[in-house]
Amino acid sequence: MNRKYILAIGSIIILLLMLIFPMSILGSPNISPFEYLQSKPYIEIGSIIILVPSSTVIVYLLGVITIFIGVKLSKLKEIHQKYWGIALILWGIGTILAGTSYQGLGYELKCANQELCLFTSWFELSYLYVTALSITIMAYAVSIKSLDIKYLKIYNKITSIGFVVYSLSLLTGVIFEVKLLVTYEWFLVFFLIYFVSFMVINVSKNRSQQNRLDKGLMNVWISMLVINILYFVYYYSGIGEFLYNNYNMWFSANDVLHVGLIPWMYYIYRVVKQ
């Protein structure tokens, strides 16, 4: 069977299993629905509560822009450009899934009709899986243009195995309710290695044969690092809490990340298109 069909069928099975085995792990620290609503701005549309509407707009905008850029790249003729397009389409879908649960419908999905709010939801778990798949395909996109054929097959096999291992760990965490395996921190540790490998590949290729693509992608990974540093600086600075508590203005560390990723996606488009 074609690998694409195997991947599609496997993905559907994993997403369905995560739906069939809903997690009942409570948030930490335990928080009631009332307390959860007191900690964030929200609006009511009919009987539905929308959390942090400004953040919801930002993250959905990022998702739509990323999908749009991915579609444009997928229509280009080079195979690495098509892989980049698919990777960004999946990244955009993952962004919308995350925004639905971490922001928009977070209360409805994790707190409504609960004595205490849940730790996660199907949307967040699906975001982790879809984004893991996106990064794996991104690995193909980076390597196909910058690695020799003898290293290309080895690298792609390793990244594919890594994706399978992560997917099984995520599914294990869902079915047996192992909290560590369904956290963003576990995802981040697992796939940070991929991004480090991207940088190593592009630097090595550009040293041996200077070219615009590898030099541009080096800047992509450096700028991503800068965006994430800004995220953590803002998160630990307490500026977000200060603005909300004193001026009723909501602008979280996630907003810093999402705003920063919008021009980052456009820069990827410029680099890969050239």
pLDDT confidence of residue 29: 86
Half-sphere exposure of 230 (CA within 13 A, CB side): 15
Neighbours of 4 (CB within 10 A): 8
pLDDT confidence of residue 8: 87
In sequence order, which residues have a C-beta less than 8 Å from that of residue 245 and are 6 or more positions away? none
SS3 content of the chain, % helix, strand, coil (to 5): 80, 5, 20
Q: Which residue has the tokens 């992560």?
A: 166
Q: Which residue has the tokens 């560590």?
A: 180
Half-sphere exposure of 72 (CA within 13 A, CB side): 14
- What does residue 192 show for φ and ψ, rounded to 5 degrees? -60, -35
Of the options 1.20.1070, 1.10.4160, 1.10.30, 1.20.1250, the CATH number for the domain spanning 31-273? 1.20.1070
Q: Which residue has the tokens 């099984």?
A: 168
What are the strands, taking DSSP E only, across the chain?
42-45, 48-51
Low-confidence ranges of the chain (pLDDT < 70): 1
pLDDT confidence of residue 3: 75
pLDDT tens profile 5-43: 888 899 999 999 999 998 899 988 899 999 999 889 999
pLDDT confidence of residue 5: 84
pLDDT confidence of residue 1: 55
Q: Is the peptide bond before 22 cis (omega within 30 degrees of 0)?
A: no
Sign of the dihedral through C-alpha 55, 59, 62, 68? negative
Provide the whole-model pTM. 0.95
Break the chain into its structural domains and give their ranges: 31-273
